[in-house]
Amino acid sequence: MKIFYEHLKDRSSKRFAVLVDPDKYDNDSLEHLMKLINKCKPDLLLVGGSILFNPIEITITTLKLGTHVPVFIFPGSAMQLSDRADGIFFLSLISGRNPDFLIGNHVLAAPHVDRAGIEVIPTGYMLMENGRSSSVEYMSATTPIPLGKTDIAVATAMAGEMLGLKCIYLEAGSGAEHTVDTDMIRAIRRKLSLPLIVGGGITTVKQADQIYRAGADMIVVGTAIEKNPEAIMDFCALRKRMNAPAS
């Protein structure tokens, strides 16, 4: 299998990822989701969360057996690791100043990730203010980049690139009331050459379309698909339209 980063870094195509939170699906709903995944083929499945009661291992194994879409760990902490996944977004929370989420968890995880032999994508993870406090904010004990502070957001993304990270993930928080601001995305895109991932609070195709057009290379949707699994078809169709050659 081509390593996923080879796809992600090809910025001529837009990508669509589905976040599968192991606590939000039971056997039947996961089975149903996998049928839809096999119909419309999102580019990537992410498994993880800020805090989990169910092990990621079972969800990852089920997704690997039931679909042909790459499965990546989207870890809330060093406790969320598995050798069943295809890869891991190795998230450094560069919007925050908590050493545990900048490097500490990574040190704990590194030997296990190495032994698992899975693809590692070093990712600058930026938590963006969206109007109310998020799980990531609370669990990581960091503050998000304030709304409207575009200069700080742009400089943070630039620093991530200069440090050698391989992509930047702008996160409004799962279930966020507002998505990441499109002006903010546009400003970051202008200064960044890395692939840009945007997630948190995307519930409609219109929002997804605006976020793609602002410069996101990949969007991540979780909550909206948990609530209405059929919505996955609409997001996949949008991605297809975005990638269709202009006539």
Binding site for ligand 1GP (CB under 6 A): 19, 171, 174-176, 199-202, 220-224
Which alpha helices (DSSP H) does the chain contain, by range? 4-8, 27-40, 56-66, 99, 105-116, 135-140, 150-162, 182-191, 205-214, 223-227, 231-243
CB 168 within 8 A of CB 175: no
Quote the least distance from Cβ 77 to ligand 1GP, whole Å: 14
Q: Which residue is nearest to ligand 1GP (CB)?
A: 199
| Contact partners, residue 60, CB within 8 Å, separation at least 6 | 47, 71, 73, 82, 84, 85
Question: Whose Cβ is closer to ligand 1GP: residue 211's or residue 220's?
Answer: 220
218: tokens are 């990949």
Question: Whose Cβ is closer to ligand 1GP: residue 144's or residue 200's?
Answer: 200
Instruction: Give, rounded to a whole angstrom, the gap between the first and last alpha carbons of the chain.
Output: 32
Question: Whose Cβ is closer to ligand 1GP: residue 116's or residue 176's?
Answer: 176
Quote the least distance from Cβ 170 to ligand 1GP, whole Å: 9
Quote the least distance from Cβ 198 to ligand 1GP, whole Å: 8
Residue 110 CA to residue 215 CA, distance in Å, equals 31
Question: Whose Cβ is closer to ligand 1GP: residue 96's or residue 199's?
Answer: 199
